[in-house]
Amino acid sequence: MFNEKEREQVNRYLSNQTFTCSIPFFTHDGPEYEIEYKFNVLGEKKMMSVGEYYMYAIVDIEILDIEERFKGYLKIMGRDFNKERLTNVFFKREYMFNVNITQCINSVLTYLHTGDYPRVNINDITMSDDLYENIMNTEI
C-alpha cells in the first residue's frame, strides 16, 4: 500500500487537514450527524476480507468536533463518563460510526494511494479535549 517514505509524505499532508463525515445515528436510516476529524496512517497490515488477503492501512483517528444538536445527547447520556469512557461508548464501540468513518477515510486515501482500492483498519479513536469540554459545557 504505502512504503515508509510515502506514508511519511501522506501523514505530513494529513497533519494539516481536517475532514468531515456524515454518520447515521445508531441505525442505517437514522438521522445523520456531521463530525470533523483528523487521522494519520500508522502502517499497514495484511488482513483477510471475504476469503482474500488484502493490505489494510492502520490509522489513528482524532474526533475534533460533532454537530451541535448531538452534543446535548452525548452530555445527557454520558454525564457520568470521563472523556475516555465517552469515546469508548459512542465512537469506538458504535458499529455505525466505525463503518462510516472507515468509508470516509477510504475515500480520502483513494486520492493519496496509487495501488488497489485502499482498505482501512482503525487502531485507535480519541476525542479532542476541546470537544469533550464543549460537550460537557453544552446547555440543555
- Whether 89 has a pLDDT exceeding 70, the answer reads yes
Domain membership of residue 17 (yes or no) is yes
Domain membership of residue 137 (yes or no) is no
Domain membership of residue 138 (yes or no) is no
Domain membership of residue 139 (yes or no) is no
Its domain, for residue 46, covers 4-130
Average pLDDT over residues 39-50: 91
Helix spans in the chain (H): 4-14, 68-77, 83-87, 95-112, 129-136
- Whether 100 has a pLDDT exceeding 70, the answer reads yes
Model-level pTM? 0.89
Question: Which amino acid appears at position 52 of this protein?
Answer: E
Domain membership of residue 140 (yes or no) is no
Q: How many domains does the chain have?
A: 1
Average pLDDT, the chain: 89
More confident residue, 55 or 1: 55
Helices H, strands E: what count in the chain? 5, 4
- Whether 78 has a pLDDT exceeding 90, the answer reads no
Sign of CA dihedral 9, 11, 12, 18: positive
